[in-house]
């Protein structure tokens, strides 16, 4: 399931944005993002994410030799909600699939993922409780795990609890994370004064931030998806992520570089219509 989880993480991290921001500006149509991953500053993988009508539609993975290794597609319902993702091997063989079920309020209530001819199946059910919490119960080939997500007064998930322990908590300013504590590690966020991201994964869920977290079933992997502001640094006692950008005339990114503890780890190129 690693490729599927990576796909969802890429979609969230590349196109994070808030519907309350950039309302007065003309947001450009994003058509493609090319990501290059590095280990010890050596290229290991290239990922191309394509868009249509302001929604991600196709992700192509390439190895360091530019050979295609995997293809993933996003599929949408008649009401334009993300309904499934499918992953294919280079020869066209279906390798993985995720199907999403919503309730009448368009909240995610079930996610079923399968991989390698259904040899690995994971089903997660979500129960919405009366105390502003959501219970997540996952069955992974017979192994059961549960967690609880806590929704704050602004309607945003700000805590994840496993076995009665808070494993991740977030302090927000509106939708912008200021800090997170994940497994006792505190990280603080700083932002650029200018610039913003061009597109929102909220579009896939009609501005429902809770669905973004539930798609990942993980708060730590999703919390940066709630702001258009450009993150400059995420720093903890042990790790520092730093980001540099080049912006176009409208202050949207053309390129982005990510450095992990001083070493280049990712590069992104943004393409607009």
Q: What is the pLDDT of residues 160-177, one digit of tens each?
A: 999 999 999 999 998 899
Kindly state the percentage of the chain with pLDDT values over 70. Answer: 89
Give the lowest-confidence range in 11-25, 27-41, 145-159, 248-262.
Answer: 11-25
Nearest to 169 by CA among 193, 258, 157, 49: 157
Instruction: Tell me if 127 is assigned to some domain.
Output: no
Dig out the tokens for 177 from the structure: 């994370």
Q: How far apart are alpha carbons 229 and 242 in whole angstroms?
A: 14
Q: What is the pLDDT of residues 231-270, one digit of tens each?
A: 999 999 999 999 999 999 999 999 999 999 999 999 999 9
Instruction: Tell me if 95 is assigned to some domain.
Output: no
User: Which residues constitute the domain of residue 69?
Assistant: 2-89+164-272
Q: What is the pLDDT of residues 137-156, one digit of tens each?
A: 999 999 999 999 999 999 99
Kindly state the percentage of the chain with pLDDT values over 90. Answer: 75
Angle among Cα 54, 176, 11 to the nearest 5 degrees reads 35
Instruction: Tell me if 138 is assigned to some domain.
Output: no
Q: pTM for the whole thing? A: 0.88
pLDDT at 200: 61
Dig out the tokens for 48 from the structure: 């191309």
DSSP 4: H
Instruction: Tell me if 116 is assigned to some domain.
Output: no
Instruction: Tell me if 63 is assigned to some domain.
Output: yes
Res. 195: pLDDT tops 50? yes
Instruction: Tell me if 117 is assigned to some domain.
Output: no
What's the total number of domains in the chain?
1
Instruction: Tell me if 202 is assigned to some domain.
Output: yes
Instruction: Tell me if 38 is assigned to some domain.
Output: yes
- The answer to whether residues 87 and 96 touch, using CB atoms and an 8 Å cutoff, is yes
């Amino acid at each position: 399931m690693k490729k599927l989880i990576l796909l969802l993480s890429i979609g969230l991290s590349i196109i994070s944005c808030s519907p309350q921001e950039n309302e007065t500006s003309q947001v450009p149509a994003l058509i493609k993002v090319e990501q290059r991953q590095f280990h010890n500053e050596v290229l290991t993988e290239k990922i191309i994410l394509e868009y249509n009508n302001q929604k991600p539609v196709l992700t192509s993975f390439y190895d360091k030799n530019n050979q295609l290794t995997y293809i993933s597609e996003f599929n949408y319902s008649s009401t334009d909600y993300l309904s499934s993702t499918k992953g294919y091997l280079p020869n066209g063989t279906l390798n993985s699939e995720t199907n999403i079920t919503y309730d009448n309020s368009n909240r995610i209530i079930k996610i079923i993922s399968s991989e390698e001819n259904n040899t690995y199946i994971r089903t997660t059910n979500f129960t919405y409780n009366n105390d502003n919490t959501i219970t997540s119960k996952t069955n992974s080939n017979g192994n059961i795990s549960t967690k609880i997500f806590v929704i704050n007064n602004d309607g945003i998930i700000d805590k994840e609890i496993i076995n009665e322990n808070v494993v991740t908590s977030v302090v927000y300013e509106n939708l912008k994370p200021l800090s997170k504590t994940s497994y006792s590690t505190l990280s603080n966020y700083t932002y650029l004064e200018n610039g913003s991201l061009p597109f929102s994964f909220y579009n896939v869920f009609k501005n429902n931030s809770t669905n973004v977290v539930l798609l990942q079933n993980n708060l730590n992997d999703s919390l940066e998806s709630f702001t258009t502001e450009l993150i400059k640094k995420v720093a903890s006692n042990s790790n520092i992520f730093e980001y540099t950008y080049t912006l176009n005339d409208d202050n949207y990114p053309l390129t982005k570089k990510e450095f992990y503890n001083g070493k280049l780890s990712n590069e992104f190129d943004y393409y607009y219509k």
